[in-house]
Amino acid sequence: MLSLARLVRTGSPCQPILGQGARNGRRVRDSCDSRDVKHVLSKGWRSRLGFLGFSNRRQPLIGAPVTSLLVPAESIIPASSRDLFALTKPRVMSLVVFTGLAGLLAAPVAVNPVLGFAAVLCIALGAGAAGALNQWYEADLDAAMKRTANRPLPAGRMSRQTALHFGVGLSVFSVVLMDVAANHLAAAILAVSILFYVLVYTVWLKRRTAQNIVIGGAAGAFPPLIGWVAATGEVTLLPLLLFAIIFLWTPPHFWALSLFVKSDYANAGVPMLPVVAGVSTTRRHILLYTLPMTAAAVAPWALGLAGWIYGFASIAFNAAFLILALGVLANRATEPAAMKPEKRLFAFSILYLFALFGALVADRWLVA
Amino acid sequence: MTPDEQDLIRKRQRDRARLMALLLGGFVILMFAITIAKMSINQ
């Protein structure tokens, strides 16, 4: 069978040239077309990163071997539909769809099933579009990380232009369809969430500050709010609390992950908290964010906005989250192999969100 | 371009055209359903 990788290689014979620029730590371009192989090398980047501060420019890739920093030449072969699907980050999308659906079902109004389906579809398409645009912008970064090196763009199975067109087209389509199926406010919030994820998180924050996922986490917090607004047409306290739960859940969730894939982020030059501030500071911050998260998660029940099913689930799951966060704080390991508490917290944090929003929906439909 | 490459390109184009047809069909059905749903709400 014909190897696509061979086709990609034969499609462009360009080889990178490591010149004076590379030795000086500046962005290097090869001698070929700018769409082809690119890589960057830099030293001394840590001095430009404050723990909480912003640097004034996009951080370069550092530390990785030259071969791992190469973004393969773009394929001359049209992208497969499987790769287009992979561009939407389907696993991330599943959580987005679930929380969006939960926001829609938790709303105190009867939603027409067709319009509800269309609204959730729009949330899924919007998330997929944001994921595609994120991969379009971060192809060089993805190429430098083991976890993401096999994505369609860094693997050279798709052209950047295809990813850009796909992402922009899907964004516009999802927002317009949301406007038609639900209402203007839901469509506007969906548009804001896509722009926030792409412009604020991906372009602005991710390579500049260790607080990237703290602020950028807001992008992932929009779906339940959009679902609620699609159903009711208005923003009230409960959907804002749902937004707050995901917003405050994002840092512990991603910091737990970044602790045991720290070297990957360091090699790619992403200033995640463990890379910039160290492992023990990250562990303290995980606990620091877990506390307000638990408060926000219990608040709907405490304020009388949700019933006993949600109240019981939120207390039980937040207690478990807190215990696991304390376990992470107590861990002194620096090697990923010994970071079992971190891996446990990361895995549990996904279950936590599903369980919490599932309990909210169960509460609304079984108790109310 | 080798015959193998041309075959792969044609296969990909066929797959994508088929997918696009399915998506367009789904879109038409969805728009029809949305229209009917909105009409029933407004009545």
Residues of B in contact with A80 (CB under 8 A): 12, 15-16
CA–CA dist A175, A63 (Å, integer): 40
Beta pairing partners, A39 = A28
In a domain, A222, yes or no: yes
pLDDT in tens, A141-150: 899 888 889 9
Any residues with CB less than 8 A from the CB of A14 and at least 6 apart, and which?
Answer: A30, A31, A32, A33, A36, A37, A73
Which of helix, strand or coil describes residue A53? coil
Measured between its terminal Cα atoms, the distance across chain B in Å is 61
Check residue A74 and give its pLDDT. Answer: 54
Dihedral over Cα of A112, A113, A115, A120: its sign: positive
Closest residue to A81, CB basis, from B5, B19, B38: B19
Residue B13 half-sphere exposure toward CB, CA atoms < 13 A: 8
| Domain CATH for A303 | 1.10.600
Please, are residues A200 and A76 in contact by the beta-carbon 8 Å criterion?
no
Query: CA nearest B35 in A: which residue?
Result: A181
Q: Spell out which residues of chain B touch residue A76, defining contact as CB-CB under 8 Å.
A: 5
pLDDT score recorded for residue A72: 52
| pLDDT for the residue numbered A32 | 34
**A207 in a structural domain:** yes
State which residues form the domain around A294: 42-69+79-367
The residue written with tokens 């645009």 in the block is A133
CA dihedral angle for residue A238, residue A241, residue A242, residue A244, rounded to 10 degrees: 160
Task: Indicate whether A7 belongs to any domain.
Answer: no
Closest chain B CA to residue A116: B34
Whether A9 is in a domain gets the answer no
Q: pTM to 2 decimals?
A: 0.80
Q: Evaluate whether residue A198 is within a structural domain.
A: yes
Has residue A136 been placed in a domain?
yes
The residues facing A38 across adjacent strands are A29
Give Cα A69 distance to the centre of its chain.
21
Q: Which residues of A touch B5 (CB under 8 A)?
A: 2, 7, 76-77
Looking at residue A342, its pLDDT comes to 96
Per-residue pLDDT of chain A (368 residues), as tens digits, is 344 444 333 333 333 333 333 333 333 333 333 333 333 333 333 333 333 334 444 444 444 443 444 445 555 678 888 899 999 999 888 999 999 999 999 999 999 999 999 999 999 999 999 999 999 999 998 998 888 899 999 998 899 999 999 999 999 999 999 999 999 999 999 999 999 999 999 999 998 998 899 998 899 999 999 999 999 999 999 999 999 999 999 999 999 999 999 888 888 888 999 999 999 999 999 999 999 999 999 999 999 999 999 999 999 999 999 999 999 999 999 898 899 999 999 999 999 999 999 999 999 998 76
Contact at 8 Å (CB) between A301 and A310?
A: yes
Asked if residue A161 is part of any domain, the answer here is: yes
The answer to whether A124 touches A93, Cβ cutoff 8 Å, is yes
Number of structural domains found in chain A = 1
- Name the nearest CA neighbour of A33 among A53, A14, A52: A14
Please report whether residue A12 resides in a domain: no
3-state SS, residue A28: strand
